[in-house]
């Protein structure tokens, strides 16, 4: 019974937040800016089915020539979606499930954070405010930014880990590091911004230590949490960082993606027209960047009450930092911050300053639960009535945003047919193709056959998968075999037991073979940086498991 009472607020939060994802339970799918999600789930499932793990290279996409999508594009949500496909769900249903899980994550994790700060009712209010933030609706139904709102759903758990360091350091390190790793693996840009934000928290702690308000152990535990999180996600971010120069990734910062075109005006954070188009220069935006009047007003009242009434909270230092970080995140969206954006070239890959809305959102809404502090001496019934009123107000004001522009009666074939994958879907996202690979300009230039064998060579058998092509053939005449595979570091060729260097022609793997009987394998393998990064992740997971085991033993002993 006590356990049931503890989970009642979480169940209430989940039931209410289902309202935000209700449109996902309708048939068909809906258009969005990144209309590739079912296709990415499909190619992830296909790669897993063929035994590739961690998945880096995908077939079908890249105009049919394949490319290292998940070597650079954060993979965590797609692993979850792919599991649905492997369990027998159709691709669109599995993709919707991925969407729902990502959205509901924010409800549970923000409840835990809000509960830690303000108690159960405060946690319930904070969670609802977080789920119903207008930008959350933009991520789901306008942009279709799955990775971004998975990170949005995991961020509260990172902050929860920071708070746990006060009471149970080892548990705080476990929760915080796993959550930080999950953020990086969901959306690397959000992970990059979070890394900088955590750096300011460490600075905040150092100042507090110098002023003798904090002990050094809190700083060291926070540092351990950050390092563990980075190490767990190393298999992804390290190769992505080191091998990016082999791709066309620089296109991500050019033209319409230049961050200078996407600063936000201050009044747009208060209110801006709702729309389903994109971000543009100046005020010509077709999408909204509002934090929301209701959120701004309630958070402002809560912060004022906390400051004026000097409400004592054992996490006051965290709240002071959150207030300062909120101001910084808002500032980073405005043109006034341009001098900071110019400090490091890596900042340009954030692309859109309004991505700081994610951080403004969490830092603002975590204060909203503080409204319950004005009723801390009231009886429980009044607090519950207040929570119900807040729920009705947030649903009434912001519920209308959680709808797609329209529903399409699309089927899996729209996202998984060879024709659509090789042309329509590939055109949406081709920035991770190899740097010297010529981009097809017409559908006829997409890959047709995986292997092109000249006259005089007789193919006896073949075995083809996304990361491996094995051939047995007889060459009556010397000739050149060409593969419809875009070359990227890691592709190796073994001919008759000997590793040979491929010949790269127009970005594709080719090889001259002499007369005779041959066996050839073209295999996508780990480069040294991928091997090292995988090892770092394995060691970090072992370390994490040891900490979890020690924590479990202590918990069992306490019982």
pLDDT digits (tens, 9 = 90+) for 333-356: 999 999 999 888 888 888 899 999
Q: Could you read off the pLDDT of 75-104 as tens digits, one per residue?
A: 999 999 999 999 999 999 999 999 999 989
User: Is residue 361 in some structural domain?
Assistant: yes
Query: How sure is the predictor about 559, in pLDDT bands with cuts at 50, 70 and 90?
Result: low
Least reliable range by pLDDT among 368-377, 398-407, 506-515: 368-377
pLDDT > 90 in the chain, percent: 47
Residue whose C-alpha is closest to residue 67's, from 38, 43, 35: 43
pLDDT value of residue 458: 86
pLDDT value of residue 466: 79
pLDDT value of residue 254: 73
Q: Could you read off the pLDDT of 526-535 as tens digits, one per residue?
A: 999 999 999 9
User: Is residue 351 in some structural domain?
Assistant: yes
pLDDT at 69 over 60: yes
Are residue 6 and residue 82 in the same domain, yes or no?
yes
pTM of the model: 0.93
Angstrom distance (rounded) from CA 183 to CA 188: 7
pLDDT at 377 over 90: no
Domain extent for 259? 2-401
pLDDT value of residue 313: 66
Are residue 353 and residue 485 in the same domain, yes or no?
no
pLDDT at 198 over 60: yes
User: Is residue 559 in some structural domain?
Assistant: no
Mean pLDDT of 168-194: 94
Are residue 477 and residue 376 in the same domain, yes or no?
no
Are residue 394 and residue 458 in the same domain, yes or no?
no
pLDDT value of residue 48: 93
CB-count burial class (<10 Å; 0-12, 13-18, 19+) for 232: buried
CB 114, CB 366: distance < 8 Å: yes
How big is the chain, counted in residues?
Answer: 559
Q: How many secondary structure helices (H) and strands (E) does the chain include?
A: 22, 9
pLDDT at 2 over 80: no
Q: Could you read off the pLDDT of 149-163 as tens digits, one per residue?
A: 999 999 999 999 999
pLDDT at 212 over 80: no
Are residue 355 and residue 459 in the same domain, yes or no?
no
Residue whose C-alpha is closest to residue 410's, from 37, 99, 60, 43: 37
Are residue 378 and residue 456 in the same domain, yes or no?
no
Domain count, the chain: 2
Q: Could you read off the pLDDT of 412-443 as tens digits, one per residue?
A: 888 998 888 888 888 888 888 888 888 888 88
Domain boundary among 369, 401, 433: 401
User: Is residue 411 in some structural domain?
Assistant: no
Angstrom distance (rounded) from CA 174 to CA 554: 14
Are residue 54 and residue 145 in the same domain, yes or no?
yes
Radius of gyration of the chain (CA): 26
pLDDT at 3 over 70: no
pLDDT at 540 over 90: yes
CB 231, CB 182: distance < 8 Å: no
Q: Which two tokens stand for residue 465?
A: 């998968």
Are residue 40 and residue 183 in the same domain, yes or no?
yes
Are residue 469 and residue 370 in the same domain, yes or no?
no
Residue whose C-alpha is closest to residue 60's, from 419, 328, 371: 419
CB 59, CB 466: distance < 8 Å: yes
User: Is residue 536 in some structural domain?
Assistant: no
- Contacts of residue 506, defined as CB under 8 A and 6 or more positions apart, other chains included, come to 437, 438
Q: Which two tokens stand for residue 407?
A: 């529903």
Are residue 44 and residue 151 in the same domain, yes or no?
yes
CATH of the domain at 486: 2.60.40
User: Is residue 358 in some structural domain?
Assistant: yes
The 503-505 sheet, strands edge to edge = 451-452, 479-486, 508-513, 503-505
pLDDT at 1 over 70: no
pLDDT value of residue 161: 95
User: Is residue 431 in some structural domain?
Assistant: no
Are residue 347 and residue 466 in the same domain, yes or no?
no
- Contacts of residues 285-288 at CB distance under 8 Å and 24 or more positions apart, as own/partner, are 287/138, 287/142, 287/143, 288/134, 288/138
User: Is residue 362 in some structural domain?
Assistant: yes
Greatest pairwise CA separation for the chain in angstroms: 92
Are residue 397 and residue 471 in the same domain, yes or no?
no
Q: What is the mean pLDDT of the chain?
A: 88
pLDDT value of residue 376: 66
CB 244, CB 253: distance < 8 Å: no
């Amino acid at each position: 019974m006590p356990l049931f009472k503890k989970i009642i607020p979480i169940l209430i939060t989940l039931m209410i937040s289902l309202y935000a994802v209700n449109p996902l339970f309708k048939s068909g799918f809906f258009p969005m800016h990144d209309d590739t999600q079912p296709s990415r789930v499909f190619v992830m499932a296909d790669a897993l089915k063929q035994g590739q793990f961690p998945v880096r290279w995908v077939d079908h996409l890249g105009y049919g020539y394949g490319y290292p999508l998940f070597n650079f594009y954060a993979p965590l949500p797609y692993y979850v979606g792919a599991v649905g496909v492997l369990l027998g769900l159709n691709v669109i249903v599995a993709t919707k499930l991925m969407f729902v899980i990502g959205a509901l994550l924010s409800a549970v994790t923000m409840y835990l954070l809000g509960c830690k700060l303000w108690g159960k009712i405060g946690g319930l209010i904070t969670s609802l405010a977080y789920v119903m933030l207008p930008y959350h609706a933009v991520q789901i139904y306008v942009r279709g930014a799955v990775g971004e709102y998975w990170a949005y759903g995991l961020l509260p758990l990172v902050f929860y880990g920071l708070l746990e360091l006060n009471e149970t350091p080892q548990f705080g390190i476990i929760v915080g590091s796993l959550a930080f790793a999950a953020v990086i693996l969901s959306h690397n840009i959000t992970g990059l911004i979070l890394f900088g934000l955590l750096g300011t928290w460490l600075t905040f702690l150092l100042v507090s230590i110098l002023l003798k308000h904090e002990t050094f152990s809190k700083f060291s535990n926070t540092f351990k949490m950050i390092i563990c999180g980075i190490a767990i996600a190393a298999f992804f971010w390290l190769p992505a960082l080191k091998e990016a120069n082999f791709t066309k990734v620089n296109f991500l910062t050019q033209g319409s993606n230049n961050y200078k075109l996407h600063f936000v005006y201050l009044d747009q954070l208060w209110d801006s027209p709702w729309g389903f188009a994109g971000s543009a220069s100046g005020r010509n935006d077709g999408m909204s960047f509002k934090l929301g009047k209701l959120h701004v007003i309630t958070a402002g009242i809560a912060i004022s009450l906390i400051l004026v009434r000097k409400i004592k909270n054992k996490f006051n230092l965290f709240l002071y930092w959150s207030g300062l970080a909120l101001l910084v995140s808002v500032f980073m969206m405005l043109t006034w911050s341009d001098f900071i954006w110019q400090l490091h070239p890596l900042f340009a890959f954030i692309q859109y300053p309004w991505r700081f809305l994610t951080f403004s959102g969490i830092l603002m809404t975590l204060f909203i639960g503080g409204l319950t502090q004005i009723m801390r001496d009231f009886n429980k019934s009044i607090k519950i009535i207040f929570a119900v009123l807040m729920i009705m107000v947030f649903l009434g004001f912001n519920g209308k945003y959680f709808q797609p522009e329209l529903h399409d009666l699309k089927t899996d074939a729209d996202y998984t047919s060879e024709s659509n994958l090789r042309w329509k879907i590939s055109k949406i996202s081709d920035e991770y193709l190899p740097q010297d690979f010529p981009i097809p300009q017409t559908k006829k230039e997409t890959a047709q056959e995986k292997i092109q064998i000249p006259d005089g060579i007789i193919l006896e058998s073949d075995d083809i998968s996304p990361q491996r092509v094995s051939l047995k053939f007889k060459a009556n005449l010397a000739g050149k075999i060409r593969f419809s595979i875009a070359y990227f570091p890691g592709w190796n060729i073994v001919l008759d037991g000997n590793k040979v260097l491929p010949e790269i022609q127009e970005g594709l793997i080719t090889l001259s073979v002499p007369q005779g009987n041959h066996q050839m394998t073209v295999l996508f393998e780990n480069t040294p940086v991928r091997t090292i990064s995988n090892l770092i992740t394995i060691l970090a997971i072992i370390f994490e498991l040891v900490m979890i085991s020690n924590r479990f033993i202590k918990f069992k002993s306490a019982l």
